[in-house]
Amino acid sequence: MPPVITTAAGRPITVNHYPFPDPAPQPAPSGTTLCKYTHLDLTEVELNCSSRYNCWGFTFIPRRYRINTGTEVDWVLEDNCSPVADGSLQPGDVIRYRYNGITTHTGRIWEVDAMGHATIVRSKWGSGGEYLHPPQIVPSIYGTDVACFRQHAPLNGVADLWIADSVTDDGEQCSHRPWWTSPDIMVDSPPYDGSGDLNPQFSVVNRVWARIRNRANCNADNVFVKYYWADPSAGLAPADWHPIPSTLGHSNPAGPFSVPAFGYVNAPYVEWTPSAAPAHQCLLAITYINDDPADPDNPDPLVYVFDVPWDNNIAQRNVHIIPAKKGSKYSIRIALKNPFPYLKRYVAEIQLDMTHSAQLPILGPELSIRIPQLTFSIANGKTVEIQNVDTRVLPLTGRKVAFPVTTLHETLIASGKISDISLDKSQEVALDITVPKDARPGSIYYIHITQKNRNQICGGYTVAVMVNRD
Partner 1 sequence: MNLKERIEVIKQPEKIKNAFYANSAAVLGFAFDEDPDVQALIAVGEEAIPLIEQEIRENGADLHEISLSCFAYVLSKINVHKAAKILSPLFPKIVDRPGSFAAMFMARTLRTEKNLPVSSRELFFTPEQLRETLRSIG
Instruction: Tell me which residues touch partner 1 (CB under 8 A).
Output: 2, 14, 16-20, 23-24, 26, 49, 54-56, 66, 68-71, 99-102, 104-105, 125-128, 139-142
Nearer to partner 1, 2 or 183 (CB): 2
| Minimum gap (Å) between residue 98 Cβ and partner 1 | 11
Least Cβ distance, residue 33 to partner 1 (angstroms): 16
Q: Which is nearer to partner 1, 24 or 362 (CB)?
A: 24
Nearer to partner 1, 2 or 416 (CB): 2
- CB nearer partner 1, residue 134 or residue 364: 134
**In the complex, minimum distance from the CB of residue 226 to partner 1, in angstroms, rounded to a whole number:** 33
Rounded least distance, CB 2 to partner 1, Å: 8
Kindly state the smallest distance separating residue 57's Cβ from partner 1, in Å.
Answer: 9
Closer to partner 1 at the Cβ: 70 or 178? 70
> Residue 51 or residue 359: which is nearer to partner 1 going by CB?
51
Minimum separation from the CB atom of position 435 to partner 1 (A):
57
Closest contact distance (angstroms) between CB of 147 and partner 1 is 16
The bridge status of strand 206-214 relative to strand 185-188 is: antiparallel
Residue closer to partner 1 by CB (options 139, 416) is: 139
